[in-house]
C-alpha cells in the first residue's frame, strides 16, 4: 500500500548497483532522484552510462545493491519477487526501442496481452484495449498484423499496450531509437499529450534533441546522476 497520496511516484536515495564481475562494475553510484506525479523526465546519457540499469531498477526489473527505492511510498526492498512482479504489472508501463510486438497477433490482440500477463478478467478486455488504441489514434488498425504497420505505428501499439490498466508510471527505453526524425517527433508529440493528461513519464535517451522534449532533464555518466542546467 502507498504511504499517503503525497508520496513521490519514484524516490531513490543513495542507490547503487554493483555487478559482481572481476573486477566489480559499479553501474550506478549513489543516485538520488525524486519523481513526482505528473513529471515528464528525460534521463540522458551515452551508451554504458548506467541509464538502462537505472530504468531497470525503477521498473522493478533489477534490484539495487545499496540504497533505498520507494515506489509510491512503498519500499521496494520489502517486497518479495511475486509482490514486485505484481507491482510492476499493475502500476508500471514499459515502452521499448524494439516494440516487442507478437508478429502473428493482431494489433488488438497485442494490446490485450497486457491484461493476459496480469491475469485480469476477460470481461471487457477487448473494449479496454480498443480504448487504449483510441488514445494513440490507432483503432482503424486494430485488425492489422504488426508486419503491416510502419515503425511509428508499431511504437504507438506498444504505447497503447503500456497504457492498458492506467499505470502510475510510464518508462520509455529509447522510444524513438528505431525511428526517423519525422516519426520520432510524432511519438514525442504523443508522449507530450499523455503528459498533459497527467501521466508520469520517464524516458531514457542518448539523444539530446529528444531529451529536450521532456519538461525536466537529468544527465547520467559513469553511473552518476546530475540535474541538467
Query: What is the domain partition of the chain in residue ranges?
Result: 38-60+90-227
Q: Which of 25, 64, 63, 31 is nearest to 45 (CA)?
A: 31
Please, which pLDDT band fits residue 46 given cuts at 50, 70 and 90?
very high
* Interval 74-93 mean pLDDT: 92
Q: Is the pLDDT of residue 1 over 70?
A: no
Backbone angles phi, psi at 134, to 5 degrees: -65, -35
The per-residue pLDDT for 119 is: 64
The per-residue pLDDT for 4 is: 47
The per-residue pLDDT for 228 is: 72
Task: State what percent of residues in the chain have pLDDT above 90.
Answer: 83
The yes/no answer on whether domain 38-60+90-227 falls in CATH 3.40.50.300 is yes
The per-residue pLDDT for 165 is: 81
pLDDT tens-digit map of 101-158 = 999 999 999 999 888 766 667 788 899 999 999 999 999 999 999 999 999 999 999 9
The reported pTM is 0.90
Query: Residue holding cell 490507432?
Result: 138
Q: Is the pLDDT of residue 2 over 60?
A: no
**Residue 143 in contact with residue 130, Cβ under 8 Å?**
no
pLDDT tens-digit map of 151-191 = 999 999 999 999 988 899 999 999 998 899 999 999 999 99
Average predicted confidence (pLDDT) for the chain: 92
Please, which pLDDT band fits residue 3 given cuts at 50, 70 and 90?
very low
pLDDT tens-digit map of 4-23 = 457 899 999 999 999 999 89
Q: Is the pLDDT of residue 229 over 90?
A: no
Amino acid at each position: 500500500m502507498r504511504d499517503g497520496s503525497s508520496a513521490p511516484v519514484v524516490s531513490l536515495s543513495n542507490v547503487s548497483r554493483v555487478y559482481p564481475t572481476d573486477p566489480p562494475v559499479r553501474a550506478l553510484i549513489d543516485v538520488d532522484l525524486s519523481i513526482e506525479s505528473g513529471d515528464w523526465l528525460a534521463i540522458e546519457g551515452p551508451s554504458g552510462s548506467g541509464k538502462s540499469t537505472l530504468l531497470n531498477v525503477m521498473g522493478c526489473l533489477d534490484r539495487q545493491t545499496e540504497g533505498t527505492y520507494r515506489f509510491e511510498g512503498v519500499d521496494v526492498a520489502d517486497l518479495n519477487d511475486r509482490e514486485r512482479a505484481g507491482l510492476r504489472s499493475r502500476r508500471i508501463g514499459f515502452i521499448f526501442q524494439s516494440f516487442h510486438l507478437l508478429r502473428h497477433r493482431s494489433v488488438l490482440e497485442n494490446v490485450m496481452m497486457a491484461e493476459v500477463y496480469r491475469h485480469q478478467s476477460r470481461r471487457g478486455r477487448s473494449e479496454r484495449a480498443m480504448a487504449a488504441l483510441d488514445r494513440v489514434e490507432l483503432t482503424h488498425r486494430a485488425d492489422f498484423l504488426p508486419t503491416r504497420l510502419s515503425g511509428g505505428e508499431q511504437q504507438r501499439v506498444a504505447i497503447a499496450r503500456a497504457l492498458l490498466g492506467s499505470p502510475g508510471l510510464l518508462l520509455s527505453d529509447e522510444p524513438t531509437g528505431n525511428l526517423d526524425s519525422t516519426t520520432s517527433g510524432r511519438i514525442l508529440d504523443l508522449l507530450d499529450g499523455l503528459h498533459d493528461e497527467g501521466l508520469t513519464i520517464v524516458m531514457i535517451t542518448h539523444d539530446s534533441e529528444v531529451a529536450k522534449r521532456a519538461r525536466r532533464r537529468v544527465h547520467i555518466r559513469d553511473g552518476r546522476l546530475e540535474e541538467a542546467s
